[in-house]
Amino acid sequence: MRIDLHTHSSASDGTQDPAEVMDAAARAGLDAVALTDHDTTAGWAAARRRAEELGLDFVPGMEVSCSSARGISVHLLCYLHDPLAPGLSAEIGRSRAARMDRARRMVERIAEDYPIDWDAVLEHVREDATVGRPHIADTLVDAGVCADRSEAFATILRPSTPYYIPHYAPDPSDAVRLVREAGGVPVFAHPLASARGRVVSEDVFDEMVDAGLAGVEVHHRDNPPEAREWLLDYARRRDLIVTGSSDYHGAGKPNLLGENTTSPEALEAIREQARPAVG
């Protein structure tokens, strides 16, 4: 089986709608695929319907944006959780509101130097989608300021620029606990992707494991080879599930469906840990 447990649709910052992501997964020869949009489950229903039509094994998921005590960004994949669980839903709602306010303020700053505005950004955002820097990047591309998203993130949207504004996000250990309370299974996404910025130290990994972390996404293009070796060793030491994924965004990133995959045994282990939400 070929299994990809990390994909994005237009419900967050992908360029294809949820059904189109499933179509692309089938064309890529996948047998099972998870939809893990940022801080939303809005794409689940459409993706599940299309996956069933195509004979794909659909895994409902989400990618939760977190921030460590040192201000380092952490992304947490969660699978098979109850989307209506009050604790997780409230935290996600708070994060989404903060991201919207942050995006507006960043656009205001950027607009002082480049020909973009908020209305132009909203043209790239589907209904109910989580607004984020990728939508601003697409607007900069449309305006001819940047060649593609990658250039936008490497220049204007970098955290070191005066245009960047941080936003509220839950502590990763708190997010792990909320995912568990919602019956879901939390997996640390691309945990040592140093090219994206600072990465957390081992003590943060330990705190997340103590809170209930189930696994680590080892096989991801943004984890350097030496980092993958460390992650594999850490997973062995802490008895964690190892996953591999594409982090597919359609045309938004060069990542290809199935370029990294998860073993059937790992997916089964994830399903075994999922349970009905507490309360």
Q: What pLDDT sits at residue 210?
A: 98
- Identify the CA nearest to 8 among candidates 247, 208, 207: 247
pLDDT tens sequence across 168-209: 899 999 999 999 999 999 999 999 998 888 899 999 999 999
In order of their start, the domains of the chain are 3-93+167-273 (3.20.20.140)
- Identify the CA nearest to 51 among candidates 79, 8, 19: 19
CA distances from 30 to 178, 191, 243 (A): 30, 24, 15
Instruction: Enumerate the β-bridge partners of residue 73.
Output: 67
**Extended strands (E) in the chain:** 3-4, 32-35, 57-67, 73-79, 185-188, 215-219, 241-244
pLDDT tens sequence across 105-154: 999 999 999 999 999 999 988 877 778 898 999 999 999 999 999 899 99
Q: Helix crossing, 172-181 with 86-111: angle to 10°?
A: 140
Average pLDDT, the chain: 94
How far is 17 from 9, CA to CA, in rounded Å? 5
Average pLDDT of the segment spanning 76-85? 97
Q: Are 169 and 176 in contact (CB under 8 A)?
A: no
How far is 267 from 59, CA to CA, in rounded Å? 9
Q: Are 127 and 137 in contact (CB under 8 A)?
A: no
Q: Report pTM.
A: 0.89
